[in-house]
Chain A
Amino acid sequence: MKHITIIHEANIKFPCSGKACGECQTSCQSACKTSCTVANQPCEADR
């Protein structure tokens, strides 16, 4: 594919249980406090 470079392909993941486990950190527990970024929170199920 000389016209297309793949950086990442289909990575959003679903929890294996099919439901939210709710163990991960809330975003305001890090450095946010006045805005909202959730996509940089690590998955606790990986640990």
Chain B
Amino acid sequence: MVHLFEMKGKKIAFDSECSSIYVLDDLSYNLLERYRRKGGERPSETELLLFSRETETDPGEITEICDSFDGLISAQSLFAPRIEADYSTLYPDGPIIKAMCLHICHDCNMRCLYCFAGTGDYGTHNRSMLSAETGRKAVDFLVAASGERHHLDIDFFGGEPLMNWPVVTELTDYCERIGRRSGKDIRITITTNSLQLDREKSEFINKHMKNCVLSIDGRPDVHNRMRPGIGGTATYEPIRNHIRDFVKLRESEKSAYHEYYVRGTFTRHNLDFSEDVKHLAETLDARHISMEPVVSEPGTSYAIRDEDVYTIEKEYERLAEYLDMTRKTDKPVHFFHFKMDFEGGPCVYKRLKGCGVGSEYVAVTPEGDIYPCHQFVGEKEFLMGNVSGMEKISDKNGVLLPGRRVEDILDPTVRQMFFERLMPNRESCATCFARYHCGGGCAANRYFATGSLDEEYEIGCKLTKKRLECSIWLACVKQDADM
């Protein structure tokens, strides 16, 4: 579908089916709107004559624009046909789990007010640590589940994973050994609040882990308000220092890996969050930043409300302007949600499959429980199984016994629940221009905001669309600068 929008003086057309982007002048923008109303067909000669009179434009000029549009339409670069894909195309071998959020511990040394993990214990009142033994079973489970997939991903998550550092290092070593033995490329990410991130841990992460996500919310007052330590202590200063030192090491030639994200959360207390992105870039020298809208039950003082959406949309525009400004310097800042490759990026099937919750991606708790993703942990109706089941279906090295599959220890009803809700089946996504951008959106956001996997989380959808518009605008202004 063709989406027309204006942003900061630019009139832009985006065809979501093929990712084409055009910048239009007033005349062609209004004319394309008429094409759109007719489902992508050229308006009749009478309609064009009327349009010519309304706009006081020479009919020959109108014909010239229409001929250009018609050429793009016949090349399927405008009003491109809808992409159809069935499950057998999206999952030719059935859903295959190949990514895992491994909860290194369900405890935390901070008490963030908005924590979806219940400050570490996921609402269980049981603070626990993953044992190396259960962690190895989880890795074995992932390798066994992954079939022919070569690239596997594990995120060491929490709670706060640095609180269980010996298990982090032991499992890293295990992943590397199992990867070599099984021929898999097991890529590790760690997500940390950075409070215990010292030089030794930073060097280990830089040597072994493909990605690192470091949490800090931005300006000192913003951060300290929502991310206090135990007892309400201020955590901004030590965390700022740790992340600044880490980023310097990570970006140096000494680091084996360079990918990282400094990641913040914004709430309705800091709707001017572009200032926090600037702060992270300018104070921590961070180049790769993400700033996420808070996930919260409706009704909390910090939850994003419907009436905040317009302010947030304008803030995303300010953020896009800031990124455009840094692009022209020797220290460009990259924002996770605006970092689009319109000339490449993932294939259309990836875009239709979305995040892979419960079908390609699972979370495993310190007790070995398997859930569709980290946000569903503790919601018993979504419990899929336990990695201890590997003892029944694998040998002492964690290799599957003949005739056994990991599906033997998974509840098929939970997987089916998410499989049936893939984006191609979602009615509200059918008419959305951002459908190939978010792949149907976050199931957990929908569930926690509305109580249902089927209802739309409307605020989330609006913000996703705005982020996509900002990405498109950035592509347009970049081309302006390159010309």
Contacts and interface: CB of A to CB of B under 8 A. Distances in A.
B24 interface: yes
B347 interface: yes
A24 to B, nearest CB: 6
A7 B22 contact: yes
Contacts of A38: 346, 350-351, 353-355, 437-439
Interface stretch (B84-92, B169-177, B269-277, B322-330): B84-92
B211 A11 contact: no
B301 interface: no
B77 A9 contact: yes
B445 A34 contact: yes
B19 to A, nearest CB: 4
Q: Is the interface of B mostly helix, strand, loop or mixed?
A: mixed
Interface in B361-408: 361, 373-375
A34 B116 contact: yes
Given A12-B348, A14-B348, A20 B91 contact: yes
Interface stretch (B43-51, B126-134, B146-154, B308-316): B146-154
Contact of B360 (A12, A18, A22): A22
A33 B293 CA distance: 11
Nearest to A20: B349
A5 B22 contact: yes
Give the interface residue-count category, chain B: 35 or more
A9 B83 CA distance: 16
B348 A28 contact: no
Contacts of A3: 24-25, 27-28, 64-65, 68
Interface in A3-32: 3-15, 18-20, 22-32
Contacts of A41: 345-346, 350
B21 interface: yes
Contact of A30 (B25, B261, B463): B261
B361 A11 contact: no
B75 A39 contact: no
Q: Is the interface of A mostly helix, strand, loop or mixed?
A: loop
Given A20-B350, A28-B355, A37-B467, A6 B344 contact: no
Contacts, number: 217
A44 B99 CA distance: 14
Contact of B89 (A18, A26, A35, A46): A18
B349 A10 contact: no
Given A30-B211, A31-B290, A35-B464, A42 B341 contact: yes
B340 A11 contact: no
B96 interface: yes
A12 to B, nearest CB: 5
A40 B339 contact: yes
B153 A26 contact: yes
Interface string B269-298: 000000000000000000010101111000
Contacts of B179: none
B292 A33 contact: yes
A11 B16 CA distance: 10
A30 to B, nearest CB: 7
A7 B479 contact: yes
B21 A31 contact: no
Contacts of B355: 26-28, 32, 36, 38
Nearest to A15: B347
Given A10-B80, A23-B150, A37-B337, 16 more contacts: A3-B24, A5-B22, A7-B475, A10-B18, A11-B343, A12-B348, A22-B360, A28-B374, A31-B290, A34-B445, A37-B438, A37-B467, A39-B345, A39-B437, A41-B350, A42-B344
19 contacts: A7-B22, A8-B21, A10-B76, A11-B19, A19-B89, A22-B93, A23-B150, A24-B346, A26-B355, A27-B355, A29-B153, A29-B155, A31-B336, A34-B116, A34-B444, A37-B467, A39-B468, A43-B344, A45-B347
List 8 A-B pairs, minimum CB-CB distance, nearest first.
Answer: A20-B349, A31-B261, A31-B290, A7-B21, A3-B28, A36-B442, A26-B99, A38-B439
Interface of B: 17-25, 27-28, 64-65, 68-69, 72, 75-77, 80, 83, 89-93, 96, 98-99, 101, 116, 149-151, 153, 155, 187, 189, 191, 211, 213, 261, 263, 265, 288, 290, 292-295, 336-337, 339-351, 353-356, 360-361, 373-375, 436-442, 444-445, 460, 463-464, 467-468, 475-476, 479
